[in-house]
Structure 1
Amino acid sequence: MPPAGGPAFNVPPITLIYLAAIGAVFLLLQIGGQTLHQWIVINGSVIPIRFAAAFQHPGSAEFWATLPSLLTHALIHRDGLHILANAGFLLAFGSMAERMLGRSRFVLLVAASAIGGAAAQLLASWGEFSVMFGASGVVSGCIGAVLATMVITSVPGSARRRFAINMALILIAANLVIGIGGQWLTANGAAIAWQAHIGGFVVGFFLPFVTLQR
């Protein structure tokens, strides 16, 4: 039970700011008009063919204009189901990860997981015309960080540590099954970016081992 007069739940500040940013971008996409909608999606999403073209000319204006999408894609959601799912997981696992890691490490986790998810997607589909956006890589990174922190803070051989390791393996295997099984589609026909899920998860899982164990 929360203390009398206190909130029923308390979302940590960085998680709350991230959720607010996601909500603001979603609102812009809904009410900002078609031109703004297209500009946000095209410039903010990870598009492998655009990266392939930009990396042919390192240091060019197009090269520098493309790099921010490694982060900004994690703010973009075009439909209600997508944003509700990611927001719900962020409320749960983002809040836990922020409390476990602290604010500064959590900011690093969000950025690194977004980049890790984007990098995995780019490696899997370099030069292809596809559009990847959404906070799923960050969500996966938060889950990975929570499980890794459980491993670090648990007694070797304990049930808690075994649970965390087994869950990590299950989540990676589940995303591989999605990939091997072909095109599993969401309700609006968008393919699941399972490579980005794995990339974000791997980054999120290993980050606590680097930042907490010193």
Structure 2
Amino acid sequence: MDSPHDSPPQDSQPGLPAAHEEAPREPVLTLPVALTAYIVLLAVIHLRVLLPAELENWTIDVFGFIPKRYDSSLLNLQIPGGSGAKVWTFVTYSLLHANLTHLGFNVLWLLPFGSALARRFGAVRFFLFLAVTAAAGALAHLVTHEHAVAPMIGASASVSGAMAAAIRFAFVRGSFLSFNRSDADTAAKVPALPLSRALRDGRVVGFLAVWFGVNIIFGVGAIGIDSETTSVAWQAHIGGFFAGLLLFALFDPVPRVRNDAADASSQDVSDRI
């Protein structure tokens, strides 16, 4: 006769997981390859601070954005870089930073928003988007700082553009701000609403109000990263932000939700935001 102690243990019964087996854990923070490569590039370029002072200043003059470079009245002032710098500095300035604090601040803001865009756009679109928003920031700086000699540097315009683009699909079930990888992947595939509809979302409007409020405070208080040779203007943030908000649809590979579908009753929140 079988003893009660001869019955199979609970963790070996069919349908029950073994006691020693654990559900796989997702990494707390996973960065797309494109964003990781961009951050590494910024870090490597920042090693220029190890160069002799004269060579470092030359690097900033050649690759930083200098409004005076486009001044038609430029006569005796010789700016390194020549005519070519009038083109490439619209983007290259965004790869330079004044110090580790400046670099770290931009990277921290880029982690959530840049991750969302890199997942959604893919590497090529992501890098092109960063370049376009950087150029928009430079243009805004040029318009508001005519004749300025101090170089502007920093990725803030691109970071601002990434933030603006991300809010087009941010407020969904499966937010890209979640630490859960599956939530981030889901958010990256959510169809974005047309801009006109997004601007009627109270959460988007609230985000815009806070973002612009912070930048106005920075501007009025003249808060920035400045030294004798470098400066970062808050107007560039605004330019990059507007470019990201308005040009998002040109880069977005995910088909947009149609207006008639958006007006229908929703069974899946992520398909309507």
TM-score of the two chains, using structure 2 as the length reference: 0.65
Q: Given the superposition, is the C-alpha separation of residues 8 and 182 from structure 1 closer, same or farther in structure 2, using an over 3 Å criterion? A: closer
Alpha-carbon contact 2:154-2:232 (below 8 Å) kept? no
TM-superposed deviation, 1:149: 3.0
Cα 1:8/1:106, change in 2 over 3 Å:
same
Contact 2:35 2:115 in 1 (8 A): yes
Does residue 1:93 correspond to 2:113, yes or no?
Answer: yes
Hey, what does 2:223 align to over in structure 1?
184
Query: Paired residue for 2:60?
Result: 41
What's the counterpart of residue 62 of structure 1?
A: 82
The 1:19–1:94 alpha-carbon spacing in structure 2 relative to 1, beyond 3 Å, is same
C-alpha deviation, 1:32, in angstroms:
1.9
CA displacement at 1:88 relative to structure 2: 1.1
Cross-structure match for 1:210: 250
Decide whether aligned partners of structure 1 residues 63 and 134 sit closer, same or farther in structure 2, where only a CA change above 3 A counts.
same
Query: CA separation in 2, counterparts of 1:76 and 1:162?
Result: 36
**52, 72, 76: which one aligns with 2:96:** 76
For 1:185 and 1:108, the matched residues in 2 are separated by: 26
How far apart in 2 are the matches of 1:106 and 1:128? 31
Q: Which residue of 2 aligns with 1:122?
A: 142
Tell me the residue number matched to 2:154: 134
2: CA distance, partners of 1:17 / 1:38: 26
Residues 26-46 of structure 1: CA distance to partner in whole angstroms, max 9, x if unpaired? 1122x2222321121111111
Q: Which residue of 1 aligns with 2:125?
A: 105
SS at match of 1:183: coil
Quote how far apart the aligned CAs of 1:129 are. Answer: 1.7
Aligned equivalents of 1:161, 1:150: Cα separation in 2: 11
CA distance in 2, matches of 1:162, 1:194: 25
Residue of structure 2 equivalent to 1:26: 46
Cα distance in 2 for partners of 1:55, 1:21 equals 33
Q: Deviating runs (4+, > 4 A) in structure 1?
A: 53-56, 154-158, 185-192
Alignment identity in percent? 27
Provide closer, same or farther for how the CA distance between residues 64 and 55 of structure 1 changes in structure 2, counting only shifts above 3 A: farther
Checking the alignment, whether the CA contact within 8 Å between 2:136 and 2:239 is kept in structure 1 is yes
How far did residue 194 of structure 1 move?
A: 0.7
1:157 and 1:3 map into 2 onto residues whose CA distance is 39
Tell me how far 1:187 sits from its aligned partner: 8.4
Larger radius of gyration: 2
- Counterpart of 1:109 in 2: which secondary structure? helix
Q: Deviations over 1:146-196 (max 9, x none)?
A: 0123476369989x93212321233124323432x2422458697651100
Q: How does 1:8-23 map to 2 (within 5 A)?
A: 8-23=28-43
Residue equivalent to 1:193: 233
| Alpha carbons of structure 1 residues 187 and 79: separation in structure 2 relative to 1, 3 Å | same
Instruction: Output the CA distance in 1 between the equivalents of 2:212 and 2:241.
Output: 8
Q: Contact 1:77/1:133 (CA < 8 Å) preserved in 2?
A: yes
TM-score, length-normalised on structure 1?
A: 0.82
